[in-house]
Amino acid sequence: MAGVSLADIRSALSIPDSTEGAGPSQPKKQAQTTRKPEGISRELYSLIGPSQPFLAAQVAKPRLKQKPKFATGGTAATKWELRTVKNPARTDGLALKHWAKASEDPETESPFAKYNIQNPVYTYSQDEYSRFLDTSNRAATPKDANPDFEKQWTKDWTDYLFRLYNDYDGRWPVIWDRAEFPPEANFDLEDLKHRYYSVCRKLIRNRPWPGDEASKTALINSLQFDIEREKMRKRYVVSLESRTSEQMAEEDALYLEVRRLEQTERRFKRDREDLMRTLAGMDSGLPYIVEDNGGPLGILAESSSRGPTKKGRKNPALDGTDSPSTPSGPVSSTPTHKRPQNTKSAAYDAQHCIIRTELSSNTPATKAAHQPAYARSSKIPYLKNNSMQTKILQSFAEMGLSPSRLVMPTKENCAQLEGLLEAVTAMLETKKHLDKVDYDIQVLKKQLGMKTGEGDGDGEGSVKREETMDVDNPQDTETDGNEGRGQSVMSVRSVRSRKKSRAMSTSSVETAATSVSTRKRQKRG
Amino acid sequence: MSSNDRVRVRGLSIFRPIIYGNTAVALTQKERDALPSPDHTHRWTVAVRSAASVPGSDQVGGADDLSYFIKRVTFKLHDTYPTPTRNIDKPPFEVTETGWGEFEIIIRITFITEAAEKTMTLLHHLKLHPWTVTGEPEIPPLEVALKAGPVHSWQYDEIVFNDPFQNFLNLLTQHPPTPLPKVKKKPVPFHLANPGSFEESKGGTPEFWTGMIAEEAERLEEARKKVITEQERLRAELIEKEQEYEKLKKQVAEGAGAAA
């Protein structure tokens, strides 16, 4: 109260406020004490004052765990219930139960379902195999790490390897353990891996890729396998593990010996230096003997040579140029120097529709090499393949596109169209192979049907038997080794062909239907 | 001209977006009677223009004067026209005529001498009758055609100059092309390579805009993805069939062995 009145008097008498000079006044102090941080006692605060806020923070009362709130005040306990877990990884329909919060959606999949990642399955057709993967009759290129080895692989073996890979989910030691290749093959684990990964890489490289180039190279790089390196690594590990205690002792002894020699050498150098300085009053001028950095002692040599090299570099440093930065200077400064220019010129290029290409140094600068002006649309590739042309046109029409025209033939779009054209051609190529195999199957089936029809005599009986046949009892069939869907479909087909009334099997009906529809489309177009 | 000007700038290509095509309107009976050849049903204009349109104009394209790099445009009309080869030496590079039928017009673009480039030939199918969803040509009756308004058929293209001479490059960079509008304000020009744009192309004078480039890129990308998935499917089927084939072959061989 008194303080307040004092201040009032001061202001009334227009006496300058002398609080700063006259020491702490009552009201000021009060204002400060109100800002006293929590967790610090008043006495202590008055001692240390407001000047040590960091201290106050340290002294702050440790936060204790909050008292648990039990379900007494209004909130009911969370309900849990025993529920079956939905796990998409299970195919056998086994239902396991879990305790889950009742508030959760019972339809959600198990949160662990996302960890059930399947390895992508790579398969290849006969055509792809003979074109890209068959190494048996190809001349060994110098690039192949081990051409003799690659030559060994047949399609059967490769198929077998891929089947094993899928069966054992890419667990290589298991695959290698279970694999039963003929004894002459004698494959190592690395050989199997090498073959598998090289096949995958070739497939990816040769197939049209839906994404961009970067993701393709990333995937290919992830499938990289260097067999030589891997074998060397394993040899190295084996040799490291198989050292005898004598060898280890010898190694240690050698190591100590080398250290000793190095120390002696250093001492000798120092002595020589001192001697030269005292005698001639100058540096020896002799070059330091640079230790050999090669071999297993490289680290040691480097650490010992670091001293003298630093010394030697001191001289240019005195000249004002910072020696370590001199070589790296222009390197580091160019990109920073260039960047603003680049963005500027990019905007300029975009405005003026300029496209710059890297000049290869060996481009002949003659007039003949000049590419005349062209309309962008003229760079759309022609349809060369005559037999495929109509089919390509058809597939493009189905997609609402044209193989030869673009609405906006920009550079990127022309490239896109080219990629699409490639993809379509590859697709049609596959279709062609499929149709051919389909036809071959029909022929074989007819052969088989005729043969068994002649052999059986009792056609109707066998039909009935096969119709009731289940996938589960394969003993009932005339063929061994067939399983699953393929077999049941096949036997139904062979039944049909046997009946003769319906010689056309389902697949041929399909192809017939497609050919009808294509004919229609052709008529329309 | 300094000697420096006649140096080619290597590693650089510069392009100019253009459009070429035609608009056509059906003639009323009265207009037809006034013509020297009353059997003509349409008045059409074939033109080569810059791609961007003048804002607020009813003309497709033509925001820039292309005469800074084009010296002459020759339109080769159907031989039944008097003087079928029409040389246009100054902008606007267009020919307006009347006629009754659609035909291919050969467009020859001659560049200015500084370009030192040969003439470029483009082909345009003169479009008189309205676009249809199916792409089948249909000739609607006069009243319908009059009501439907002008028919537009335009092709966007880019003229690319490789390693241009310095002075030509300077000339080009003095005239940066008007960029296409970033937002769509008018209908898009219909194109046979994009039948899906039929609905979008209705309702007045069309205009090219930048979104069309991205849209087409997207369509191509999507189609490519679709084709590739289809191929994956076919390949899987093929592999399955090949296995079936192998089994059948074995079966046949076994059967033959048993028979023998």
Q: What is the mean pLDDT of residues B51-66?
A: 85
- Give the least confident one: A131-140, B1-10, B39-48, B149-158: A131-140
Could you tell me the pLDDT band of residue A209, with boundaries at 50, 70 and 90?
A: confident
Query: What six digits make up the tokens of A249?
Result: 């002792």
Q: Report yes or no: B244 at the A interface, CB cutoff 8 Å.
A: yes
Q: What share of chain A is helix, strand, coil (3-state, %, to 5)?
A: 60, 5, 35
Report the share of chain A in percent with pLDDT over 90: 6
What 3 state SS string does B79-103 have? CCCCCCEEEECCCCEEEEEEECCCC
A433/B159 Cβ within 8 A: no
What sections of A179-294 are H helices per DSSP? 189-206, 213-222, 227-241, 245-280
Within a 10 A sphere around the Cβ of B150, how many other Cβ atoms?
Answer: 19
> For A289-343, what is each residue's pLDDT tens digit?
444 444 444 444 444 444 444 433 434 333 433 333 333 333 333 344 444 456 6
pLDDT at A5: 63
| Residue A417 confidence (pLDDT) above 90 | no
> For A110-124, what is each residue's pLDDT tens digit?
778 788 777 777 888
User: Which residue in chain B is spatially nearest to A365 when comparing CA positions?
Assistant: B10
Nearest to A440 among B11, B208, B245 (CB): B245
**B137 prior amide bond cis, ω within 30:** no
Mean pLDDT, chain A, whole residue set:
68
User: Which residue in chain B is spatially nearest to A448 when comparing CA positions?
Assistant: B252
> For A325-340, what is each residue's pLDDT tens digit?
333 333 333 344 444 4
Give buried/exposed letters for A53-76 (b at 16+ CB in 10 A, else e).
Answer: eeebeeeeeeeeeeeeeeeeeeee
pTM, 2 dp = 0.57
pLDDT at B19: 92
Q: Report yes or no: B6 at the A interface, CB cutoff 8 Å.
A: no
**Which among B124, B17, B24 has a CA at the least distance from the CA of B64?**
B17
Q: Write the CB contacts of A145 (distance below 8 Å, at least 6 apart in sequence).
A: A194, A226, A227, A228
Domain ranges of chain A: 2-56, 126-239, 245-323, 381-423, 428-471+482-524
Query: What six digits make up the tokens of B260?
Result: 């023998």
Domain ranges of chain B: 3-209, 211-260
Distance of CA A181 to the CA centre of its chain: 31
Query: What six digits make up the tokens of B80?
Result: 């039944």
Q: Report yes or no: B199 at the A interface, CB cutoff 8 Å.
A: no
Min Cα distance A370 → chain B (Å) is 7
> For B180-194, what is each residue's pLDDT tens digit?
888 888 888 888 778
Tell me which of 1.20.1250.20, 3.10.20.30, 2.60.40.1970, 1.10.260.40 is the CATH number of domain B3-209. Answer: 2.60.40.1970
User: Which residue in chain B is spatially nearest to A421 when comparing CA positions?
Assistant: B224
- Distance, CA of A7 to CA of A343 (rounded, Å): 65
pLDDT at A284: 53
Within 8 A of B247 by CB-CB distance, chain A residues are: 479, 481-482, 486, 490
